[in-house]
Structure 1
Amino acid sequence: MLLIFCISLTACQDDVVIKPDAELRLDYPTATYNTSETGCNYNFMINDNAVLVKNRNCASKVAYPKMNATIYITYQKVENNNLDSLLYDAQKLAYNHDIKANSIPEQVFVNPDNKAFGIFYSINGNAASQSHFYLTDSIQHFITGSLYFEAKPNFDSIYPAVVYLRDDIRAMMETLEWSTH
């Protein structure tokens, strides 16, 4: 009787199936760009999925509401030989994230046609920001930008969005034009 009971318990169980880890698939629309009107001494093209929010002092935000991400942009005039301090502050801002970052590769950016020169920083890891950049004409204009997500920084989870937004930042840098207002 005990043998029949044991056989009936083991015979009715399903086979154990090992399931693979789930992978989140995030698809973003192909980016199309239009010229922004900042009303300040610079303009650039932004993704149609973004919203330009103008602030005082020619600072602005490029918000991505569906991604809970924002690129914060600050404009400053180059005057009184302050270019060195502006460059130092921009580099320091990027490297303040080295405590949590795994790496911070730099890409030099040069666009002599638009007189725009700078550096793009990719901040890889669980840092508060995932990208920084600055651009200047070395004479009158200087802007810095930083990408932040309104979420706990878990780089593995937000990586697809980071790649998408880094491409947008590069497009902004490539299309930047200085103006005089």
Structure 2
Amino acid sequence: MKNKIRFTYISLTLLLLISCGKDHVPKPKAVLRLEYPEARYRPLETNCPFRFEKNTRAVIEEKRNCRLNIKYPDMKATVFLTYKPVDNNLRSLLIDAEKLTYDHVIKADEIGVGGQFENKQEHVYGRLYEVAGNAASQAQFYVTDSTSHFLTGSLYFYTKPNYDSILPAADYISKDIRRLMESFQWK
């Protein structure tokens, strides 16, 4: 009986010594990896004085006065497009577009010019602003022919802004916005 107790005691002691030999480190948090299918583009024709290529995954919602919403249901995001005719007010329209962008400076970590666009052949000139941080909008842009037409666009997500969480979707949609601007034509 004493041998059984001694064997059990030695076995438990060895088991405790062996199991306590490593330092325990907390596991790192898992990182969500979001991948989206490669974008495919198709020309969008409207009754408005412009046309452009849009991602086939996006859904177009037409409003009055050539306002369009480009919806991304899977990403819970929308690019809002607003058209305005230029009537000797180009400077005012440019100031308003820039003001709308810089209204996000309170929450933004950085507002950078993601690109200045110029297509002289199609008379399309524009600028893309990319907003980093927990701002309400992650991208703002405009295109104009500088004489008759002006279009602004804003990207919004249907969620409380959390830049790290929406960054993959914002990057994906920003590429679509670039394609929109590069393919943009006035009628």
Using structure 1 for the length normalisation, give the TM-score: 0.90
Deviations 1:91-141 (A, max 9, x none): 000000001111111121111121110110000100000000000000100
Which deviates more, 124-133 or 109-118?
Answer: 109-118
Matching residue's letter, 1:136 = T
1:4-83 correspondence to structure 2 within 5 Å? 7=13, 10=16, 16=24, 18-79=26-87, 81-83=88-90
Query: Cα distance, 1:154 vs. partner?
Result: 0.4
Which deviates more, 37-46 or 145-154?
Answer: 37-46
1:110 maps to what in 2?
Answer: 118
Q: Distance in 1 between matches of 2:17 and 2:63?
A: 70
Query: Cα distance, 1:10 vs. partner?
Result: 4.1
Q: Distance in 2 between matches of 1:18 and 1:126?
A: 28
Q: For 1:131, which of 130, 133, 139 is the aligned residue?
A: 139
1:98 paired with 2:105, answer yes
Q: For 2:169, which of 137, 142, 161 is the aligned residue?
A: 161
**Could you tell me the percent identity over the aligned residues?**
48
Query: Cα distance, 1:171 vs. partner?
Result: 0.2
Q: For 1:178, which of 170, 176, 186 is the aligned residue?
A: 186
Q: Secondary structure at the match of 2:150?
A: strand
Q: Distance in 1 between matches of 2:109 and 2:26?
A: 33
Higher helix share: 2
Query: Cα distance, 1:173 vs. partner?
Result: 0.3
Matching residue's letter, 2:170 = V
Q: Distance in 2 between matches of 1:169 and 1:17?
A: 44
Q: Distance in 1 between matches of 2:151 and 2:40?
A: 23
| Bigger Rg, structure 1 or 2 | 2
Gaps of 5+ in 2: none
Deviations 1:144-181 (A, max 9, x none): 000000011100111111110000000000011101xx
Query: Cα distance, 1:78 vs. partner?
Result: 0.3
Q: Secondary structure at the match of 2:45?
A: coil
Gaps of 5+ in 1: none
Q: Is the 8 A contact 1:53 1:60 kept in 2?
A: yes
Query: Cα distance, 1:21 vs. partner?
Result: 2.3
Q: Distance in 1 between matches of 2:186 and 2:97?
A: 19
Matching residue's letter, 2:144 = T
